[in-house]
Amino acid sequence: MRQKTGAEIVLAAADITTDDRRKLVMEKAGDVDILANNSWGRPIGYFKNWDGECWIRAINENMLTSIEMIKAVLDSMVIKKFGRIVNITSGSVKSSIPELGLSNGARSGLTNVVAGIAKEYEQYHVIITNLSPSQFHMARIEAWV
């Protein structure tokens, strides 16, 4: 893409579940045109075994972190009248997976928050979307079968 467009492309990957790590990533990234939010899913389990701390962690990692990243880039995108934000969630927001209740709940929350704010920012040519992919063949899927 750099060769084709001559654009400056900065990749910034980190565990951004804390304010200080998000700040470091944003400092490295600078002015952002495209933001892709993605997080790993919470552990498989049974809902009766999840305490409040499990839920708080799931909500922070799979919902609030993405919301904070969106807030960090949105103002500059509005000023430029251009921006793309993609949240990669999970097919479980459409068809819940019982063993993944922590992830299901947090990702569904993110999906609905984004659906609500996306319309507000279309007028500034800032497009905010959610991708809810189905299962990929990986070790986590193998654990279920």
The residue with tokens 């922070």 is 60
Residue burial 20-33, b: 16+ Cβ < 10 Å; e: rest: eebeebbeebeebe
Output the pTM of the full model. 0.82
Sorted by where each begins, the domain ranges of the chain are 8-142
- Provide CATH code, domain 8-142: 3.40.50.720
Query: pLDDT (tens digit, 9 = 90+) per residue, 40-99?
Result: 766 788 888 999 999 999 999 989 999 999 999 999 999 999 999 999 887 666 767 777
Per-residue pLDDT for 138 more than 60? no
Helix (H), strand (E) at residue 36: strand 34-38
Q: What is the per-residue pLDDT for 113?
A: 92
Q: What is the per-residue pLDDT for 81?
A: 98
Residues 22 and 32: beta-carbon distance below 8 Å? no
Q: What is the per-residue pLDDT for 75?
A: 96
Least confident of 5-9, 27-31, 48-52, 95-99: 95-99
Q: What is the 3-state secondary structure (H, E, C) of 76-90?
A: HHHHHCCEEEEEECC
Q: What is the per-residue pLDDT for 141?
A: 53
User: pLDDT band at residue 140, thresholds of 50, 70 and 90?
Assistant: low
Give the torsion sign (CA, 85, 23, 111, 103).
positive
In whole angstroms, what is the distance from residue 9 CA to residue 135 CA? Answer: 29
User: pLDDT band at residue 30, thresholds of 50, 70 and 90?
Assistant: confident
Per-residue pLDDT for 27 more than 60? yes
Helix (H), strand (E) at residue 34: strand 34-38
